[in-house]
Amino acid sequence: MIPASIERCAGIDVGKKWLSVTIMIGPLEGEPRVEQRRFGTIRSELIRLREWLQQEEITHVVMESTGSYWKPVFNELEGWVQVYLANPKEVKIRKGHKTDDKDGWWLAHLLRHAMIQPSFIPPRAIRELRDLTRYRKKLLGNGTAERNRVHKVLQDANVKLGITLSDLFGVSGQLMLNALLKGEEAPQQIAQHAQRQAKKKIPEIIASLEGHQMNDHHRRMIHYHLEHMRVLEEQIAKVDRDIEEQIQKAGLEKQWQLLQSVPGVQQISAATILAEVGPSVTPFPTQRDLSSWAGVCPGNNRSAGKNKGSKTTKGNKWLKSALTEISWGAANKKGCFLKDKFWKIKTKSKGKDGPALVAVAHTILILVFNVLSTGEPYRERGVPELDEKQKDRAIRHHIRRLGKLGIQAGPPRLATGVSGSTRPSRVVLREAKVKPRPEKGHRLVGGKPPSRKA
């Protein structure tokens, strides 16, 4: 039997209108006294709940993270008792035995025996910053949806600019879109709005506009979408200012600047990491705990001493998304070791970007952990130097590649030094005499033409 660890605890099953509360009070060696009550979710009922818990001298309370319904209860109990927020998947009761009262009893039972892993709840200032960064992400998603709707309307009007221009909402694309909205019908006239590199595609642009069926209804719908996009851009700019003000208000400028020293991390991505992880990494004992919480490391799937392979855990989707975007930037940064790591893993993964991005995101999160734990900015270490074994492997690889190109490379000559030690001096290259292969269908000199089978 699992021993009890908490003498006075309570479990709360949270709903939209009602709360089912179960308290367990008693010595650790014996059976506890169990009492259940129901409360509403309005402020006066929450105050009555808090007074009852104080009267019973409850020290620990647990509830499921059900949507946003747990937040009013947490706001009322924060500072009075120790509140645990449990993952619903970890405290799920058996099927066919689920009721509100049984859920509250089960939560209190698990808490009394210390069988609940509490979720990370940051301070209020960080929670407010988190609301801003997550709302900004939602606004970006809405903007992408509006762009897709514009593409859909153009497809309905037989306008194929989306397959000709690399970015329909670039400079050239917007000028052509405005020309279509103004009623310019001639494809040659619309194609003259092409700028810079798009001028090379004028024939393709004309072909994509010929015979289009743009009418007033299409123009009206595109006007709606473009107007909404302008509103979203203004809101995003305002949210960016509010994020910076919230960081200054909470006194997080130092941590914000430290995070921007990590490769690929800019102002907005640094604010997102700060909002999800917090200004300190003390809630996470090690780098592995933070990586597992973020979902950028493999899970465990081992049985009978065999590793059956495992995918990355679900983790914090907001932090994982930000780390993935940062990985793209770090993978394209010159002189950064993360770029070499990205391409090395991508090559081993047969050209797939996913494994390489997750690996780089894992490394970036480790750098974030080190920066926040030490309080020192990240210093670029550049590309690591190769040891002798890695140099020999690289030489053999390039010798094989040269051989495939028709150049024979002999083994490196060893030069004897004064002390008698040998070191490789240079690789001898010789051009191989490769017999030319005839192209299919051509006659060889002094030979017969290749036969073709009917």
Question: 179-232: per-residue pLDDT in tens?
Answer: 888 887 688 888 888 888 888 888 888 888 888 888 889 999 999 999 999 999
Residues 69 and 16: beta-carbon distance below 8 Å: yes
Question: Percent helix, strand, coil in the chain (nearest 5)?
Answer: 50, 10, 35
pLDDT, tens digit, 9 for 90 and up, residues 102-139: 989 999 999 999 999 888 899 999 999 999 999 999 99
Higher pLDDT, 307 or 284: 284
pLDDT at 413: 52
Judged by average pLDDT, the poorest of 27-36, 154-163, 410-419 is: 410-419
Judged by average pLDDT, the poorest of 44-58, 77-91, 226-240, 434-448 is: 434-448
The whole-model pTM stands at 0.78
Instruction: State the average pLDDT over residues 296-321.
Output: 82
pLDDT at 438 over 70: no
Rounded distance between C-alpha atoms, residue 189 and residue 230, angstroms = 26
The label of the residue with tokens 């801003």 reads 132
Backbone angles phi, psi at 316, to 5 degrees: -85, 110
Contact residues for 404 (Cβ-Cβ < 8 A; gap 6+) = none
pLDDT at 360: 92
pLDDT at 420 over 80: no
Which residue type is seen at 10?
A: A
pLDDT at 133: 96
pLDDT at 394: 84
pLDDT above 70 coverage of the chain, percent: 89
pLDDT, tens digit, 9 for 90 and up, residues 33-46: 999 999 999 999 99
Higher pLDDT, 6 or 436: 6
pLDDT, tens digit, 9 for 90 and up, residues 336-371: 888 888 888 888 888 888 889 999 999 999 999 999
Higher pLDDT, 6 or 428: 6
Q: What's the mean pLDDT when you consider all of the chain?
A: 85
pLDDT at 401: 85
Q: How far is CA 238 from CA 34, 193, 241, 244, 268, in A?
A: 51, 32, 5, 10, 13
Rounded distance between C-alpha atoms, residue 277 and residue 136, angstroms = 17
User: Would you call 18 helix, strand, or coil by DSSP?
Assistant: strand
How would you class 254 by CB atoms within 10 Å of its CB: exposed for 0-12, middle for 13-18, buried for 19 or more?
Answer: exposed
Q: How far is CA 249 from CA 62, 202, 279, in A?
A: 31, 52, 13
Judged by average pLDDT, the poorest of 139-153, 217-231, 440-454 is: 440-454
